[in-house]
Homo-oligomer: A and B are copies of this chain.
Amino acid sequence: MTRKELFENIKKKQSFLCIGLDSDITKLPEGISKTAEGIFEFNKQIIDATHDLCVAYKPNMAFYESLGSKGWVSLEKTIAYIKEKHPDIFTIADAKRGDIGNTSKLYAKAFFEQMNFDSITVAPYMGEDSVIPFLEYKNKWVILLALTSNPGAENFQHYPHGGKSVYKEVLEVSKSWGDEDNMMYVVGATRGQMIKNVRDIVPKHFLLVPGIGAQGGSLKDVVEYGWNDQCGLLVNASRSIIYAGSGSDFAQKARAEAKRMQEEMKQLLKTHSVI
């Protein structure tokens, strides 16, 4: 998917919502079997109930890998289902991969060829040759970890304290590896003001922003600091949507929560004259 297509979808759907398919076998609602097959059934119902309200889905690999090869099958079925039913939706493999060049190439093959994801999250620690192989695919995207939303982000992303932080160095160095048409950055929503620091370095790139919802980040802050002239934001919510209900009406409850967020986003898109 191109940046232009993504922006068109945002305008059409009046939403910049990404739904995280962090489908945990221990949290499956009433009526869904607690098996890898159940995970796919759950995802299908969530997708059916929310696809018109979001522009992206983001399964996190850990939830699937924790079920072994059967979980991997559920993941493959989920991505195939999205691609078949809703080819206009941007798909993100939240995999946080990264390895030496010839090995990253195989990760790219796994996520871009075997499963046809539009994008993958990548960890920057191993540097340029660990990222480049993903950028060699046309119309596919790297979403590089810059500033994450968890407490441990303090340890190394903000190092050296008092100097120029690692996350800023990651942004500055990596932006020459690709451009705003094939790279995005993960920037946690729990760090409102810092999104501004990120925007100063990468004004044009899309930012994937987790941490809204269960992790406590504010959509208003994210928009205040992260907005650019093409929206420039994909805001993710996972648990707050997919586990909005635990009864047999879980899909309607998920839809209601996604709708609530989409309405808020619609207002923000209007305020910023995008729609």
Binding site for B on A (CB under 8 A): 22, 24, 60, 62-63, 65-69, 71-73, 76, 96-101, 103-104, 106-107, 109-110, 114-115, 123-131, 145, 148-157, 159-160, 163-164, 166, 169-170, 173
Contacts and interface: CB of A to CB of B under 8 A. Distances in A.
Nearest to A130: B152
Given A66-B109, A96-B98, A156-B169, A22 B114 contact: no
B129 A151 contact: yes
A127 B72 contact: no
A157 B106 contact: no
Given A69-B72, A166-B159, A129 B110 contact: no
8 contacts: A60-B99, A62-B107, A96-B126, A124-B155, A125-B148, A127-B152, A129-B151, A160-B160
B156 A127 contact: yes
A106 to B, nearest CB: 4
A65 B110 contact: yes
Contact of A164 (B72, B104, B160): B160
Copies of this protein in the assembly total: 2
Given A125-B157, A127-B154, A128-B151, A66 B96 contact: no
A154 B51 CA distance: 42
A139 B48 CA distance: 44
Nearest to A151: B129
Contacts of A98: 96, 123
Nearest to A148: B126
Contacts of A76: 68-69
Nearest to A169: B159
Given A62-B110, A63-B106, A68-B115, A125 B22 contact: no
Given A62-B107, A110-B62, A114-B67, A152 B126 contact: yes
Contacts of A156: 124-125, 127, 166, 169-170, 173
Contacts of A72: 68-69, 72
Contact of A155 (B109, B115, B128): B128
Contacts of A127: 150-157
B125 A145 contact: yes
